[in-house]
Amino acid sequence: METQKLWGGRFTNPINSALEQLNASIQIDKRMYSEDINGSKAYCRILILCKLLSEEEGNLICEGLDQIETEWQENRFVIKDNDEDIHTANERRLTELIGDIGAKLHTGRSRNDQVNTDMRLWLRSALSALEQLLKELVKIMVDRSYEELGTILPGYTHLQRAQPVRWSHFLLSHAWNFKSDADKLRNIYKITNVMPLGSGALAGNPFCIDRIKLAQDLGFETITQNSMQAVGDRDFIAEFLFWSSLTGIHLSRLAEDLIIFSTKEFNFIEISDSFSTGSSLMPQKKNADSLELIRGIAGSLFGHCSSLMMTLKALPSTYNKDLQNDKEIMFSAFDKLVSVLNVICGTIKTLKVNSAKCRNALSFDMLATDLAYYLVRRGVSFRNAHHDAGKVVATAEKRNICISDLTLKELQSINEKFQVDVEDVWNYETSIEQYQTIGGTSRNSVIAQLDILRNWLSEHYIPTKNS
Ligand code: ARG
């Protein structure tokens, strides 16, 4: 008895049912039904040009494919037992609808070049969606930063209080990472936008199809140049997964900062109720679950990246079935990022900044560097100025007072360059405003950042589906 599989010609015994289950990817790759159909329609048009299909046959195939697409869209497509993957399912349905002519569509094509093409088509739209979401996030951060320019708070290194900064400067420090993530998508888009179709199973296409025309039809910028390389290439997915992982890490660092800031100990911000949850036991609790989920998912995004890398490691040339896992990983990374980006957008948009608490958390010891700069501006070398400011800190600590409470005499006994105007050092706003250089925390420098980011927001690199 011949098996019902599309590849069943040389088989006599049916496939083992456990293997059949393991082998089937339809429940995952059906997500690419539209890409598979578009790729097939373009391939059909090329077969007409090569006279491998007559116009009528080609039209019948394209109409059949359109009908199949509608069935998928309307959730009417019936998956049958032998539908291994989206490619076999669509082809099986096509021959059901239009008869033997449908069986001509696969002429010279293999699922090996087909699946790679489908994934690239799918990823192109996915990258465009991610660019939009990142831009939305940066816009929310830019808008907040503009509104809250006047809010100042301690900046930290090693999680120790370091120097006063603007809240906007802090927020934008994360926004710049997301801008860079969005910019990097351009390169991933470029390497994704290369067409492998026409590579066949591994040796190429024997019917002299015009691959360049086919690529133009499908909107690919260029085509692969070696069929063996093309069918085994998953670099575009690896790049995407590394990118997802790094973007996840950027999100996790923002989430961690905000979790710390939202604790009662800090109390700099309050996460809105809509983005928090409570405790089933402790009635007073309000947990920043949104941010914790984001922090946690960064770990699984890295897992996705390493999972594909391990699949690719030492894989023999061209196509091997190990590669079938790639789609589950790619879809999952995309889905996780989309949900995380939606949640972070809402969390940032709705959180409240407690600017009084932020300001009250500042203390004059955070201006010890400014004391050193005071001396530098009066000709003392920075090393010596740093040393003397350190002595001021130590003296104040010993006397258990604030550094701003040392008398001028005491200061002068450490360095005689201290004068009455040293009083002016104890001012957070002046301290912040001295950082006028590009990239600093002064008002003008932050406004300059905002201008750059705003211009960037209006630029657009990755074509959207309809553009
Ligand atoms: N479902 C397969 C995959 O996703 C399609 C390619 C199958 N190719 C083959 N020679 N069995 O990788």
Instruction: Concatenate the DSSP letters of all residues of 342-355 into one string.
Output: HHHHHHHHH-EE-H
Residue 158 designated active-site: yes
The total of other beta-carbon atoms located within 10 Å of residue 1's CB is 8
DSSP state of 401: S
Angle between helices 326-350 and 111-147 (to 10 degrees): 10
For the chain, percent of residues with pLDDT exceeding 90: 92
Residue 199 designated active-site: no
The confidence band for 10, taking pLDDT boundaries of 50, 70 and 90, is confident
Instruction: Report whether residue 25 contacts ligand 1, using a CB cutoff of 6 Å.
Output: yes
Instruction: Report whether residue 194 contacts ligand 1, using a CB cutoff of 6 Å.
Output: no
423: three-class secondary structure by DSSP: helix
The confidence band for 1, taking pLDDT boundaries of 50, 70 and 90, is very low
Instruction: Note the Cα 343 to chain centre separation in Å.
Output: 13
pLDDT score recorded for residue 278: 83
Answer with the residue of higher pLDDT: 391 or 285: 391
C-alpha radius of gyration, the chain, whole number:
31
Spacing, Cα 337 to ligand 1 middle (Å): 26
Is residue 330 within 8 Å of residue 368, measured between CB atoms? no
pLDDT score recorded for residue 466: 55
pLDDT at 467 over 80: no
Mean pLDDT of 109-121: 98
State the catalytic residue, choosing from 158, 280, 458, 467.
158
| pLDDT tens per residue across span 193-236 | 999 999 999 999 999 999 999 999 999 999 999 999 999 999 99
The total of other beta-carbon atoms located within 10 Å of residue 409's CB is 8
Mean pLDDT of 174-200: 98
Residue nearest to atom 2 of ligand 1 (CA): 324
Mean pLDDT of 271-283: 87
Instruction: Report whether residue 24 contacts ligand 1, using a CB cutoff of 6 Å.
Output: no
Mean pLDDT of 443-466: 90
Instruction: Report whether residue 85 contacts ligand 1, using a CB cutoff of 6 Å.
Output: yes
The total of other beta-carbon atoms located within 10 Å of residue 382's CB is 11
What residues form DSSP beta bridges with 161? 156
Question: Which atom of ligand 1 is closest in space to residue 324's alpha carbon?
Answer: 12
| pLDDT tens per residue across span 380-402 | 999 999 999 999 999 999 999 99
Instruction: Report whether residue 354 contacts ligand 1, using a CB cutoff of 6 Å.
Output: no
Instruction: Concatenate the DSSP letters of all residues of 148-210 into one string.
Output: TTT-EEEEEETTEEEEEEEHHHHHHHHHHHHHHHHHHHHHHHHHHSEE-TT-TTTT--TT---
Instruction: Report whether residue 115 contacts ligand 1, using a CB cutoff of 6 Å.
Output: yes
Spacing, Cα 448 to ligand 1 middle (Å): 51
Compute CA distances 128 → 29, 150, 182, 298, 305, whole Å.
20, 35, 10, 21, 20
pLDDT at 23 over 90: yes
What type of residue sits at position 100?
D
| pLDDT tens per residue across span 291-316 | 999 999 999 999 999 999 999 999 99
pLDDT score recorded for residue 369: 96
Q: How far apart are CA 184 and CA 120, in angstroms?
A: 17
* Best probe residue, ligand 1, of 92, 112, 308, 318 (max atoms within 8 Å of C-beta): 112
Domains in the chain: ranges and CATH: 8-107 (1.10.275.10), 112-360 (1.20.200.10), 364-434 (1.10.40.30)
Is residue 209 within 8 Å of residue 287, measured between CB atoms? no
Spacing, Cα 234 to ligand 1 middle (Å): 13
Mean pLDDT of 237-250: 98
- CA 208, 227, 117 angle in degrees (round to 5)? 90
pTM given for the model: 0.95
Q: How far apart are CA 290 and CA 288, in angstroms?
A: 6
* Best probe residue, ligand 1, of 11, 319, 322 (max atoms within 8 Å of C-beta): 319
pLDDT at 280 over 90: no
Instruction: Concatenate the DSSP letters of all residues of 240-298 into one string.
Output: HHHHHHHHHHHHHHHHHHHHHHHSTTT-SEE--GGG-B--SS-TT--B-HHHHHHHHHH
Instruction: Determine the length of the chain.
Output: 467
Spacing, Cα 329 to ligand 1 middle (Å): 15
pLDDT score recorded for residue 4: 72
| pLDDT tens per residue across span 318-348 | 999 999 999 999 999 999 999 999 999 999 9
Instruction: Report whether residue 237 contacts ligand 1, using a CB cutoff of 6 Å.
Output: no
Compute CA distances 177 → 159, 182, 454, whole Å.
20, 9, 15
Instruction: Note the Cα 91 to chain centre separation in Å.
Output: 34
Instruction: Report whether residue 41 contacts ligand 1, using a CB cutoff of 6 Å.
Output: no
Q: Which of 191, 188, 185, 189 is nearest to 135 (CA)?
A: 185
Mean pLDDT of 420-445: 97
Spacing, Cα 30 to ligand 1 middle (Å): 13
Instruction: Concatenate the DSSP letters of all residues of 45-67 into one string.
Output: HHHHHTTSS-HHHHHHHHHHHHH
Q: Which of 12, 22, 29 is nearest to 72 (CA)?
A: 29
State the catalytic residue, choosing from 180, 274, 279, 381.
279
Average pLDDT for the chain: 96
Q: How far apart are CA 41 and CA 62, in angstroms?
A: 6
Instruction: Report whether residue 318 contacts ligand 1, using a CB cutoff of 6 Å.
Output: no
